[in-house]
Structure 1
Amino acid sequence: MRRAHVRRARWIALMLVLGSLAPVRAEVIERILAVVSGALVLQSDAEAAIKLGLVTVPPGADRLQAALDQLIERQLMLIEVDRYGPPEPPLSEVDVSVREIDQRIGSGERMNAILRESGMTVDQLRLRVRDDLRIRSYLLQRFGNQPVPPEDEIVQYYRTHEREFTRDGVVRPFSEAGIQARDALIAERRSQLIREWLAGLRRRTDINVLYLPGR
């Protein structure tokens, strides 16, 4: 009988010890993926951005690597935005953007669950959305007014991108698709200018990438 009591006491003690260890085991150890001019890019940032649809992950790509590349670029742009200080976006625009995120991922409790998993609050998400809107405003101000290309360059773009102007297997004539071709060419050149600008920011900024794919 005494042995039974001893065994029971040991069992209770063991369960208490395991219970005390459970919270430690459940703790998520934060992982630093990169440092951009002193600002940390954490794995939780990347995971949250992926789950909330704030970054694009190409099929077959390393999820964290794809997210990290975009988060590094975002941080580089944010440094420039803070330097030049474009106007603050209206709160109504922030509200709309947050609702769009909520709708994109399925509405309801899904967004709250992602925020909890990532250790992010709704207020922090709103701050992120605010900064995204500031970046968008800055890019529009800096790269928005692109010159209209000469018609021969628009025609050349149209001819080399026929798939963009094909409907039901038939290529639309230039007389119909010319404006679309012009806008697409302007957008392509704007994107190229932004890529070159970002490449320059990367060269001038202290970036330490700690993430190694597959580890």
Structure 2
Amino acid sequence: MIRVLVADDQDLVRAGIVATIDAQEGIAVVGEAADGAAALRAVAVCAPDVILMDIRMPRTDGLDATRRILATEPGARVIVLTTFDADDLVHAALDAGACGYLVKDAPIAELTTAIRAAARGDAVLSPAITSRVVERLLAHPPAGFVAAVPPAAESLTDRELEVVRLVADGLSNLEIARVVHLSEATVKTHVGRVLTKLALRDRVQVAVWAHRHGVARPPV
């Protein structure tokens, strides 16, 4: 059973997320929080496998709460919930240690897939906003963001390039595995090799690299 903590300051939104998750097989909500400080306390009590964390909350916001949770529980898996008008905070959320992000109006299947992926140790990039985040980071990259990445892709194998394109599309390791007909563990190995070869930190940087160097497929 995957244990989930839901942190959101909007009661109706939180109640909807909780009801949705509790209806899924193999997933259960073990705690709720209306702000980041409450989320910190709940993590200590409930020991969730996955935390769904809103960014904008009173008192302690989701970014600070994520940093503080991961400082004491480095194995925790935090998925940040965001809206389109909070795109500028996505990189900050990942930098704080979140394993990914979702839009609040994501389909139920996408939400549950993301929770299962996070629980397996995978990163979660919502296809709905990955392209927007990449576009923003390409136009206004933070200081040093992928600045040292070599421009050539010759160091990557054909399979690794294929995986890079799928990461840039916003697919999880499991989804990539289904597309390329490999095991999830093999895909995870390929992603790790890509990060090492290109000296990148996470999947968002892989997506930015792919778009910057013409490896990613153009948007449809």
**Band of TM-score, shorter chain:** under 0.3
- The structure with the largest strand share of the pair is 2
With normalisation by structure 1, the TM-score equals 0.25
Higher relative contact order (CA 8 A, sep 6+): 1
Q: Which one has the bigger helix percentage?
A: 1
TM-score normalised by length of structure 2: 0.24
Q: Based on CA coordinates, which of the two structures has the bigger radius of gyration?
A: 1
